[in-house]
Amino acid sequence: MVSYTHAATLVSNPQYAVLDDALTSAAREALDADTGMRWLAAGIAADVLFAAVADADPKALADTLKQALAATPVDVIVQPLATRQKKLFLADMDSTIIGQECIDELADMVGLKPHVAAITERAMRGEIEFEPALRERVDLLKGLDVRVVDKVIDERITLNPGARTLIQTLRARGIYTMLVSGGFTLFTSRIADRTGFHENRANTLLVEDRRFSGSVHEPILGRQAKLDALVEMRGKLALQPSETMAIGDGANDLAMLDEAGLGFAYHAKPAVAAAADARIDHSDLTAVLYALGIPADEFVT
């Protein structure tokens, strides 16, 4: 009887459901090993189970399987079965849990979105330091009525597909969830409430007479603070590093993703996608649940 050590989870976008028997067979053949398989959701997600050598590189194995699947839009996440179960989940907010960058949408209210969005893009790619880039962008918001946040949230901010299902399902399984953002508490508090995160952390925009002062409370929550939040919560919950996971898309998420037992790059900037343990390029946020081996009929929707 074969003793499987690893799982390769194949996930397609639920809207297209392109995964079929031919693709799963191609993946199994590429592994050149005895394999087992189980469907997690018909046409959407499946686990290919296999025995790997002791020093197998999950990322290299995932790349091999992606090549076997050619140009098919299917994500591949490879990990050891022994450390698959998790107890802590940290997530970035902007362009990860939600589809927008909140500061760019605020800047649009003063006619500066293209300028601010360009700075945001460079910071998320790691081309400039996050903290000074945030101060520069916040300064451009000086004088903006704080009540505009309600308008932005109501009219412009949307959850990425699968966000609420992801958090509700994790919570139902006893996994602690934290939203950690280089954005602002005015947004994270609302998004955390909408999705169900246990807690949220972000930067605080300073306000004077109900208008943004152009400053942010120091120290800024950036790359180091996200890493610190993971280490802190891991200690509080008395967890092993392997019992943690995190997800993000930008350069300020890299340290957090690297420290997590399983770090997901979600439709991420190139440097982040290259560095993360797992890439979600095609599917939605429920890919995290499939990576944990949770079948679709057990999702909390």
| CB within 8 Å of 102: residues ≥ 6 apart | 93, 94, 152, 157, 183, 184, 187
Active-site residue, 228 included = no
Classify residue 131 by burial, with Cβ atoms within 10 Å: 0-12, 13-18, 19+: buried
Closest CA to 164 of 286, 298, 283, 279: 286
Among 94, 249, 277, 284, the active-site one is 94
Active-site residue, 209 included = no
Among 47, 75, 92, 249, the active-site one is 92
C-alpha to C-alpha distances, 175 to 127, 225, 248, 278, nearest whole angstrom = 34, 21, 18, 19
Active site residues: 92, 94
